[in-house]
Amino acid sequence: MSADSRPHGERLFARYAYHPNEKGYCGPDGAPLLAEVARGEGAGVDVRGAATRFSGAWPYLTVIGRLLACDPLDERAVRAYWTGSVEGDAIDPAVFWRELLAIIGPRAGSYWAYLDESLAAEAAPHHAFHVFGVYPWTRLLSTGRPEPVEVLESCAILPATVMHADATRWRVRGPRLVYREGVLALDDSDDANAERDVTVPFGDTATAGEKVAIHWGAVAEVIDGDTAGGLQARVSAQLARVNARLAAS
């Protein structure tokens, strides 16, 4: 397989999977190879073999692919998982959660005992549900420590606007995650939207005003306005469901 003939879904998976993998948080060793794929190189890299070893993403892709009647690494499934999509929004969340729980429930065992039918109210077939619902960090917000919010914001995929771009580092402005008075939210205010620098690991180019998706402090991809708006709306909707749980507890 040449780099040019690689399915776009595999490249898209690599773009988002690279950042946590490079930091050692999930997936097998081999982050530099994922970066090659994301840049349109790495013709011989076995993306599927690597993807199946992502204990977080792969179960989602498997279920989403089955419900969309496509391969787990088809662009439709990969897009639905990482940023969400209109097609993914049409998936019945109850069916999705039932199928996902059948995979991840036994793996979690007693470690994440909260993974049961009670989480069905938050279930959605995209990464924001994994970050804010399945991962334990929202259950640590009441400690008052800054680490839960910091990790949640880094792990979440959030949209931002490019303010300035050079070869390896861009300055962007976008909503920040805040936790105030027991409520977790995206803050769009000017104070919260402080400009920040992000890395650009895949050689992307952009001009001021373009939209990007940020994951673990790096540009995952340049996206259009509709994708950015949909991403922010899905994260905000996910936070609303999380806040209902936090208020009840």
Per-residue pLDDT of the chain (249 residues; tens, 9 = 90+): 545 578 999 999 999 999 999 999 999 999 999 999 999 999 899 999 999 999 999 999 999 999 999 999 999 999 999 999 999 999 999 999 999 999 998 877 666 778 888 899 999 999 999 999 999 999 999 999 999 999 999 999 999 999 999 877 899 999 999 999 999 999 988 777 788 999 999 999 999 999 999 999 999 999 999 999 999 999 999 999 999 999 998
Strands (E), the chain: 158-165, 169-173, 176-180, 183-187, 196-199, 211-215, 218-223
CATH number of 137-248: 2.30.30.140
Domain residue ranges in the chain: 3-126, 137-248
**Alpha helix locations (H) across 44-146?**
47-51, 57-67, 75-82, 86-89, 93-108, 127-129
> Token digits for 187?
């803050």
pTM: 0.94
Q: Count other C-beta atoms under 10 Å from residue 203's C-beta.
A: 12
- Decide if 18 contacts 35 (C-beta within 8 A): yes
Nearest to 137 by CA among 79, 145, 236: 145
Nearest to 38 by CA among 88, 85, 87, 78: 78
